[in-house]
Copies of this chain bind each other. A is one copy, B any other.
Amino acid sequence: MVPRRAQLLEFAVLGLLHEGPTHGYDLRRRLNEALGPFRALSYGTLYPALKTLLGRGLIAEAPDPGRRGKRPRVVYELTAAGKEHFADLVARADSSAYEDDAFDVRFAFFARTESEVRLRILEGRRGRLEDDLERVRERAVRSRERLDSYTAALQQHGEERAEREVRWLTELIDAERRHPTDPGPQP
């Protein structure tokens, strides 16, 4: 099951609020900076999403710590239900955790993910990339002659990038197996 983009955003927002209460403008900035799937996230997407989470009781308005004389902002924090929901989501390691965009988001919160789950996500991602690689290679064999040099160069470059990514994941997996450190309690 490929996760809807809205679910990804929900996960990311809960994850960021898990690190501490904050307001919409700051969430957007941090989501944009994370330069994953949310590089171009707009207020038109974020604010309604926050409203939905509010309506579902996963987040709640918190008092703005206040900055002398400045207009208070709308600060959100996780509710108990929100923390629980996020914990459930983090524990998942099915395909919704390692497909394309989803992997980037899940990886960003690996520090809050249990070692075992991390391992399964990394392995799932690696398997996914290996499948892609196999498909590309098959196609390369089938069409070797009738490719112009540019298409051939692009294909080879794509292959090398995927191979490199697989090696990177393998390193992470090996490291994870050697030192399976679980997340401690949040500070």
A positions within 8 Å CB-CB of B: 33, 35, 104, 107-108, 110-111, 136, 139, 148-151, 153-154, 157-158, 161, 164-165, 168, 172
By the criterion CB–CB under 8 Å, are B150 and A110 in contact? yes
Protomer copies: 2
CA distance A168 to B111 in the complex (A): 33
CA distance A157 to B125 in the complex (A): 15
Q: Beyond A107-B150, A107-B154, A154-B107, is A35–B164 a contact (Cβ under 8 Å)?
A: no
Closest to A171 in B: B153
Closest to A139 in B: B33
Closest to A172 in B: B153
Task: Say how far A73's CB is from chain B's closest CB, in angstroms.
Answer: 22
By the criterion CB–CB under 8 Å, are A151 and B35 in contact? no
Task: Say how far A129's CB is from chain B's closest CB, in angstroms.
Answer: 13
By the criterion CB–CB under 8 Å, are B111 and A151 in contact? yes
Complex contacts, A148 vs chain B, CB 8 Å: 110-111
Additional A-B contact list (16), CB under 8 Å, known A111-B150, A161-B164: A33-B139, A35-B136, A104-B154, A107-B150, A107-B154, A108-B151, A108-B154, A110-B148, A110-B150, A111-B148, A111-B149, A111-B151, A153-B172, A157-B168, A161-B161, A164-B164
CA distance A151 to B151 in the complex (A): 34
CA distance A136 to B35 in the complex (A): 9
CA distance A110 to B154 in the complex (A): 11
> Closest 10 CB pairs between A and B?
A111-B148, A110-B150, A157-B168, A111-B150, A107-B154, A107-B150, A108-B151, A33-B139, A161-B161, A153-B172
